[in-house]
Amino acid sequence: MVKTREWVSTLEVWNPHELSVEDRALLAEAHVAASKAYAPYSEFYVGGAVRLADGNIVRGSNQENMAYPSGMCGERVAVFAAGAQHPGVTMMAVAIVSPSEKAISEAFMPCGGCRQVLVEAERRQGSPIRVLLQVRDEEVAISSSAVNLVPFAFEAFGLGGTGTNGREG
């Protein structure tokens, strides 16, 4: 019998003015982080901000390096810094933004490596991390979980973790 696998991913798209005060504040922190990015090669500036369960916000920005791929994406810097500086504290949400003119709202998404880092952070803490995505001051795409952003993530089909969006039939 032939089996099929299907992945359904859904993002909510919000007008930024309709977001909660908490989400707008997290996006603002990510924009501050993006202003500190080091991106002389791509000129694609990205900021990330992680809101922790204890109320702390941890920022990160992309840091490029001439010895590609030695740089690091903004959201990964923020997630790793949150894990290093606040071990064991649940990550509730991460905002990822880019003020860059090169960024396109409909296509703005974390790279595959960053998506997998977010999924593993969810798996480790045993709860979802909301992901907010924004280009400049445009609409905000929101995922209720990082797993929602990773088709066929390592744990999506029983390899350990909390992935539930993948279906086998």
| CA triple 61-163-89, angle to 5 deg | 50
Q: Is 75 labeled as catalytic in the residue annotation? A: yes
| CATH architecture under which domain 21-161 falls | 3-Layer(aba) Sandwich (3.40)
Got the DSSP string for 114-140? Answer: HHHHHHHHHHHHTS--EEEEEETTS-E
Given the residues 75, 138, 139, 155, select the one marked as catalytic. Answer: 75
Q: How many CB atoms lie within 10 A of CB 61?
A: 24
User: According to the model, what pLDDT value does residue 159 have?
Assistant: 40
Confidence of residue 155 (pLDDT cuts 50, 70, 90): low
Give the pLDDT mean for 14-42. 98
DSSP 32: H
Sorted by where each begins, the domain ranges of the chain are 21-161
User: Per-residue pLDDT tens for 126-153?
Assistant: 999 999 999 999 999 999 999 999 877 7
Give the pLDDT mean for 151-159. 59
